[in-house]
Amino acid sequence: MNKNWLKQNTFHYSEFKDIDRLVKEKTRKNLSIALCLPTLNEEKTIAKEILIMKSELMTRYPLLDELIVIDSGSTDNTRKIAEDYGAEVYKADDILPNLEVFKGKGENLWKALYVTKSDIIVYLDADIKNIHHRFVYALVGPLLLSDNIKFSKAFYDRPIATGKSKIRPTGGGRVTELVIRPMFSLFFPELTQIMQPLSGEYAGFREIFEKIPFPIGYGVETSMILDIYEKWGLDVMAQVDLVKRIHRNQDTKALGRMAFIILKTFCNRIEKLGLVNINRDLFNKMIQYNLVKNEYQPDIFKIEGVERPPIVEIAEYREKFNIQDL
Amino acid sequence: MQKSQTVQVTNMDTYIDQLPAFAETIKSIKEIIIANIVFIGQVPSPTFKEKKRTSIFMERLSEAQVDECTTDGYRNPIGIISGTSKTKPPIFIVAHLDTHFSRDVDHNFTVKEDAIIGAGILDNSVGVGVLASLPEIFRKLDLRFESDIVLAGVIQSLGKGNLRGVRHLLKTWSTPIRGALCIEGGEIGRLNYYSDGMIRAEIDCTMSTNSRWEQRFRPNAILILNEVINQILKLRLPQRPRARVIFGKISGGYKHGIIAYDAKLGFEIQSDSDKMVKTIYNDIQDIINGISHENSVGLTMKTISNLRPSKLRYNHPLIKNTTAVMEKLDIKPISEPSESELSIFLSRKIPAITLGITHGENYHLENAKMEIEPMFKGIAHIIGVIMAIDRGVCDE
């Protein structure tokens, strides 16, 4: 196990505060950067994310070249607000229309690779209440200033907004601690050095993202880490402390469903890698129970576990980016 | 940076005519202005605990490349944009940094298509955010001024702060000041140019916990304060000079079934006559002494802050020009007294007014809401007034 990784590849956002330096490095290396926000009914938070990134990283400092929103079919005003504040907005279903349509965050991230042109893609969840431009510049910092790092991941304290305008100072990360970390400890101890493998904020080079598959749903973060680790090793990854991210707390049942998807993705990966042999197909239903009028009734949550192939294998993508051979 | 229009300041009308176009140009950098409001406003800043907001405010000013960015001896953050003249005194633009909300209240704002919602947004995160955006706005409008422009976020303004920040800033500022503009989140259209005399005070009623009475016969602090209020209401306040007593805060008691052993009443005496304020204050002191004696309870009155009345005359060129600026932008001026930073400027004979930036609702609630669209006109009229002062309307 490479124990030095934690020391060498863990950064604090303040190390990249000199945005001017990042812009110069970007220009010197002739790189471009896109920010992608996957959305589904995010009208409460989307405007703030867009305007802060535009103001700080496009108008003040030309660090970002593209700012796109890929929407899964919001029924609120998310798309209109995003357009009003100047983002390029796409409906996921309209991208690569010849392919079968799926819904999910991973699907949006995968399709973002097709609609953006930039060399580096930054993915941020669109529900960050305390959004700050450090969420972007700190993630691209290691990619621009190092020649080896190709993928960077955020970690932070996770205060929980508990409603009624109050914030509880600590908490969160339950799926990480109860599911992912035990699994990493069992199969990939090196990866336990990644503080928050499930964080929804990460950045990487197109050359990495285009060569890995994307599960369409919650499993995308888990599979991404496992695939990058398997193909290029831990040293191409970095993690950046973004200090604090305020998010809406999810109830235990919702986290249970998330854990189910992540475990399924994990099991598929470790089987594919030959680390375990699962002698039967895994079920694709998460079953939870509710007590209704003194009777327990099952609440069944079905997950197909669809995965998009590496986008470089898609003909339209190869044509757009003029890629001849795989 | 793109230059939209160069202002040749030759006469009053030429610059006033440009103001509607200014509003549009200002709107073109709305993301910078809103980002400043959000960055600064999301940092809690209760009175006496403004340090973090002060740092963010200075960071934003420094990002905007003002010529000088510093704090005065009282830690009021100040940015200075140098003027072209070496002799003209500076123009002050101020907004108070403190808010009514404690640190544990969620200060994260929600930005919508047409509004921003959150604790303290109107009082006064919009004001401070716009203040921090002015250097960028001046650049966008390609404006230079003869006077230095001093952008001051003042601390310790509200309540017990008693305007200490601005008092100290002006007390220690060694050179003359040409004129001043105080900016507040709302309401757009306010044109404050006079301040009433005011005493803000608290009355505390306390019972000894080891009283010789049985609990059920002990006087009730809430009822004692009720009696105080009733007697104050019986005071005959004159129509001229204008005078009023405002009861603004009350608290007390422990739980439903226990006689209240303490209670507190916060109020203000306001009048355009300093003498009348003092007379009413003395009357209230007499009421308190009487009730305290009759009921054998502890009843004390403590002054939190006070101001002397001060005003600009209505036909002062600053008022006339401000009214013209507002009319050009279809803003209807509404004048009321304002007991704020304005009072301190006026009491030092510095021509000053207070203007509001936009419309809003739920002013002092956690879900306070400001409208985005009127803000651009609000900023344009602030720019118009700064230009008027720079052209000499305060140089009598």
* Chains A & B: contacts with CB separation below 8 Å: 55
A164: CB partners within 8 A, 6+ apart = none
Identify the closest residue of chain B to A19 by CA–CA distance: B63
Query: Is A246–B108 a contact, with Cβ atoms under 8 angstroms apart?
Result: yes
Residues of B in contact with A84 (CB under 8 A): 113
What is the CATH T-level fold of the domain B197-307, as seen in this structure? Alpha-Beta Plaits (3.30.70)
Query: Is B31–A48 a contact, with Cβ atoms under 8 angstroms apart?
Result: no
Q: Which of A48, A132, A165 sits opposite B111 (nearest CB)?
A: A48
β-bridge mates for residue B286, sequence order: none
Identify the closest residue of chain A to B34 by CA–CA distance: A51
Tell me which residues of chain B have a pLDDT lower than 70. 1-13, 209-217
Alpha-carbon distance B367 to nearest alpha carbon in chain A (angstroms)? 9
Reported as a single tens digit per residue, the pLDDT across B100-121 is 999 989 899 999 999 999 999 9
Question: pTM for this structure?
Answer: 0.84
Amino acid identity of residue B352, one-letter, is: A
Identify the closest residue of chain A to B33 by CA–CA distance: A55
Pairing of strands A285-292, A167-168: unpaired
Q: Is residue B18 classed as helix, strand or coil in its secondary structure?
A: helix
What is residue A129's predicted lDDT score, i.e. its pLDDT?
84
B347: CB partners within 8 A, 6+ apart = B195, B307, B308, B310
Q: Residues of chain A whose C-beta is under 8 A from some C-beta in B?
A: 43-45, 47-48, 50-52, 54-56, 59-60, 77, 80-81, 84-86, 129-130, 132, 161, 165-167, 246
Q: Which of B29, B30, B106 sits opposite A165 (nearest CB)?
A: B106
- Cα distance between residue B375 and residue B369, in whole Å: 12
What is residue B216's predicted lDDT score, i.e. its pLDDT?
53
- Cα distance between residue A315 and residue A101, in whole Å: 17
Reported as a single tens digit per residue, the pLDDT across B116-143 is 999 999 999 999 999 999 999 999 999 9
Residues of B in contact with A44 (CB under 8 A): 110
CATH numbers and ranges of domains, chain A:
4-249+309-320 (3.90.550.10)
Its ipTM equals 0.81
Buried b (16+ CB within 10 A) or exposed e, A285-314: ebeeeeeeeeeeeeeebebebebbebbbeb
Q: Does residue A106 contact residue A91 with C-beta atoms inside 8 Å?
A: no
What is residue A172's predicted lDDT score, i.e. its pLDDT?
44
Q: Does residue B235 contact residue B243 with C-beta atoms inside 8 Å?
A: no
Q: So where are chain B's domains?
A: 12-195+310-390, 197-307
Q: Residues of chain B whose C-beta is under 8 A from some C-beta in A?
A: 29-32, 34-35, 38-39, 42, 63, 104-106, 108-113, 119, 366
Q: Which of B365, B364, B368, B308 is nearest to B339 (CA)?
A: B308
What is residue A164's predicted lDDT score, i.e. its pLDDT?
52
Q: Which of A114, A24, A175 is nearest to A315 (CA)?
A: A114
Reported as a single tens digit per residue, the pLDDT across B15-27 is 899 999 999 999 9
Handedness of CA B92, B149, B151, B375 (dihedral sign): positive
What is residue A169's predicted lDDT score, i.e. its pLDDT?
45
The one-digit pLDDT tens for each residue of chain A (326 residues) are 677 898 899 999 999 999 999 999 999 999 999 999 999 999 999 999 999 999 999 999 999 999 999 999 999 999 999 999 999 999 999 999 999 999 899 999 999 999 999 999 999 999 888 899 999 999 999 999 999 999 999 998 755 555 555 554 444 478 888 999 999 999 999 999 999 999 889 999 999 999 999 999 878 999 999 999 999 999 999 999 998 877 666 788 888 988 998 999 899 899 988 999 988 888 889 999 998 988 999 999 888 778 999 999 999 999 999 998 76
What's the CATH code, domain B12-195+310-390?
3.40.630.10
Residues of A in contact with B34 (CB under 8 A): 51, 55
What is residue B212's predicted lDDT score, i.e. its pLDDT?
56
